[in-house]
Structure 1
């Protein structure tokens, strides 16, 4: 395969995902969708269509293939390592008041939408099913570690572990994983009409979620060019994915396992990070800048990353 063919194949994976993001940005500019639409659609995705997509992808999966314990454990430890590396860097390079926001923006990826969309585009059912299990692991870690780092730099805030545990237990995405596992393990069939209806409903997830991401982008905020935001975005989209992917390769992962890990490592900062910063009285403007910058950067960094890994023969 020539370099041109390889790059064209890479674009076939990444362009559909990021095209939807920029369509959302364009629709917002045209006034065809507004903040009310984004709020309603985001709620529908989080509470309905995304859990349905995760549930259906898992019950269709071969659990012996999708449930890769070694992959799950590596991803968990890699996420913890990214968190600690970001914190160590922020301790010396970022003003104390912004360290919590910086660290969360640097390590917390949008795996539930962008990562899963890229995984589905690149690896089909394997990407969706194994990615859904990775998502179940990382949701727990993201929430716990984000509360720890934000409360550490917000003196007036304290870590309410009871509330945090309750919110994680009732998280629709985690519930979807837990409910799906018995169906997958014991191969419990569902009526064909229910599967078809579920597929229709779940198919709304990725285009709707990606459009909402685009509609929330603020080019005006990006133009402010805060140094801390650019630093966090560079950490999230360049430093951490490179370090974590090389570590995964050295550990022994290759092929679709390494590709899936890279897609999750290289996902832009999750929009949920803004909500948590806002709720805990942090620098929400900085959080918004990091989200916008990483989302815009992702279209380039993810494409080049997949191309480079394919060129090396690692995936």
Structure 2
């Protein structure tokens, strides 16, 4: 296969995902969806349709293939390394008051929506089931590390560790994984009519979630802290994915495993980071700018990354 064919194949994987994001942006600007719709739809995705999608994907999966402790452990180590590198760089280059926001924006990706959508587009059922298992590591590590770094720079504002642990234990995505794994492990099945109904419901997830990402993006503005936001965005979308993916290759990961981790590493900054910054009294404008920039450039950086890895025969 020549490079032109590989590039066109790459576009077929990434463009449908990012097209939905930009459609959501357009719908918000044209007034066809509003903030109330985005809040309601996002809650529906997070609390119901996405957990259903993850649950169904895992119970259909071959756990011997998708449950890979080595992959989960490596991703956790890579997340900790990315977090440490971003914090070290922020200590040298970022004003004190913005360091926590910068670090969170530079390491915390939107794996639950964009990463999972890309994984499904590239690898189908494997991407959904293995990605769903990986989300357990993502949710716990991202939330914990975000609280650590934001609390370190927000003065009197402190998050309650009890509430963070409670939120993680109650997280619908975590619960979906915990409930689904025994089903897959013991080969338990559900009635066909329930599986079909679940598929109908779960099929709402990715298009609705991506529209909401685009609609949220439309409401963000790029007026302040552009230099700091650009620095965090380059770290998030170029430097850290390159370092972590190279490290994964050195560790022996190839094929689907390497591709899945790259897509998660290269996901744009999660919209949830804005909510946490706002709650802790941080620079929410900087957080919004990082989300906007990383989401806009993701269509280019992710496509280029998939193209390079595919051309090299690594994924």
Settle same-fold status: TM greater than 0.5: yes
Distance 1:246 1:181 in 2: 30
2:259 equivalent to 1:259: yes
Whether the 8 Å CA contact 2:56–2:198 is kept in 1: the answer is yes
Deviation at 1:2, TM superposition (A): 1.1
Corresponding position of 1:216: 216
Corresponding position of 1:313: 313
Distance 2:127 2:33 in 1: 30
Equivalences for residues 89-168 of structure 1 within 5 A = 89-168=89-168
Corresponding position of 1:230: 230
Task: Using structure 2 for the length normalisation, give the TM-score.
Answer: 0.98
Corresponding position of 2:289: 289
Corresponding position of 2:69: 69
Equivalences for residues 46-85 of structure 1 within 5 A = 46-85=46-85
Equivalences for residues 5-24 of structure 1 within 5 A = 5-24=5-24
SS at match of 1:217: helix
Whether the 8 Å CA contact 2:158–2:280 is kept in 1: the answer is no
Corresponding position of 2:280: 280
Relative to 1, partners in 2 of residues 1:149 and 1:250: Cα closer, same or farther, differing over 3 Å? same
Deviation at 1:224, TM superposition (A): 4.9
Distance 1:152 1:302 in 2: 32
Task: Using structure 1 for the length normalisation, give the TM-score.
Answer: 0.98
Whether the 8 Å CA contact 2:71–2:257 is kept in 1: the answer is yes
Gaps of 5+ in 1: none
Distance 1:248 1:169 in 2: 29
Whether the 8 Å CA contact 2:237–2:301 is kept in 1: the answer is yes
Corresponding position of 2:179: 179
Distance 2:190 2:278 in 1: 41
Deviation at 1:159, TM superposition (A): 4.2
SS at match of 1:150: helix
Distance 1:311 1:109 in 2: 25
What is the RMSD computed on CA atoms of the aligned residues? 1.0
Deviation at 1:218, TM superposition (A): 3.6
SS at match of 2:302: helix
Gaps of 5+ in 2: none
Runs of 4+ in 1 over 6 A off after TM superposition: none
Deviation at 1:50, TM superposition (A): 0.5
Distance 1:299 1:35 in 2: 24
Whether the 8 Å CA contact 2:29–2:218 is kept in 1: the answer is no
SS at match of 2:17: helix
Distance 1:224 1:216 in 2: 18
SS at match of 2:222: helix
Distance 1:162 1:35 in 2: 30
Relative to 1, partners in 2 of residues 1:184 and 1:274: Cα closer, same or farther, differing over 3 Å? same
Deviation at 1:203, TM superposition (A): 0.4
Deviations 1:204-250 (CA, angstroms, capped at 9, x unpaired): 00000000000111487236561100000110000000000000001
